[in-house]
């Protein structure tokens, strides 16, 4: 009888462990990668993709006029295989953290030389160190063609596009 009880208890424990691993093992903001070619350069962007989940995103979860880590979790990483121009300024080939400063009418797109850091500090501010910003450009947000539940970055022949909720932020890239 005692062995049967122990077997049932062990079975329940293992089942609970499996269920909790499945539930808690899922990231609410899964890692994503956007790749493509723009201005003759191979572009790779590694980021985490948060969801809207019924929340007010722009001017709410992501405040206006404050630097944002451009996704969730770790700072977003932008890699370019060749020198490119963004906003008429040259960004050398290499790997950068990508931050943004959303505004209602214009966004700042920030490329920072520091990589590998978590996206925010304990106080909720971003890990962007302005002293390490190598390029800051301006982009104009617009209404997206469709609602995007998850934050997404696309690479196309014209550059990159940040998409989330009902907003699209195109960032032109040239040679």
pLDDT in tens, 11-64: 555 444 444 444 445 568 999 999 999 999 999 999 999 999 999 999 999 999
Q: What is the pLDDT of residue 10?
A: 54
Structural domain spans, the chain: 29-172
Q: What is the pLDDT of residues 79-116, one digit of tens each?
A: 999 999 999 999 999 999 999 999 999 999 999 999 99
Element (H, E) at 42: strand 41-48
Query: Does the pLDDT at position 65 exceed 60?
Result: yes
Tokens for 94, please give them: 């290499």
CA dihedral sign of residues 7, 10, 16, 19: negative
The SS3 assignment for 148 reads strand
pLDDT, tens digit (0-9, with 9 covering 90-100), for 114-141:
999 998 888 888 889 999 999 999 999 9
Name the pTM for this structure. Answer: 0.84
Which one, of 138, 140, 133, 87, lies nearest residue 112 by Cα?
133
């Amino acid at each position: 009888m005692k062995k049967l009880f122990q077997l049932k208890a062990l079975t329940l424990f293992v089942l609970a462990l499996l269920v909790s691993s499945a539930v808690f093992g899922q990231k609410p903001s899964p890692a994503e990668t956007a790749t493509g070619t723009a201005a003759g350069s191979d572009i790779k962007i590694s980021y985490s993709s948060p969801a809207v989940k019924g929340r007010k995103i722009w001017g709410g979860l992501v405040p206006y006029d404050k630097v944002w880590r451009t996704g969730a979790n770790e700072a977003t990483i932008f890699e370019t295989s060749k020198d490119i121009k963004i906003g008429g300024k040259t960004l050398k080939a290499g790997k950068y953290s990508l931050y943004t400063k959303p505004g209602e009418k214009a966004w700042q797109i920030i490329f920072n030389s520091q990589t590998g850091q978590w996206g925010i500090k304990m106080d909720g501010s971003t890990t962007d160190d302005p002293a390490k910003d190598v390029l800051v450009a301006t982009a104009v947000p617009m209404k997206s063609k469709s609602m995007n539940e998850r934050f997404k970055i696309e690479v196309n022949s014209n550059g990159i596009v940040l998409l989330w909720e009902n907003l699209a932020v195109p960032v032109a890239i040239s040679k």
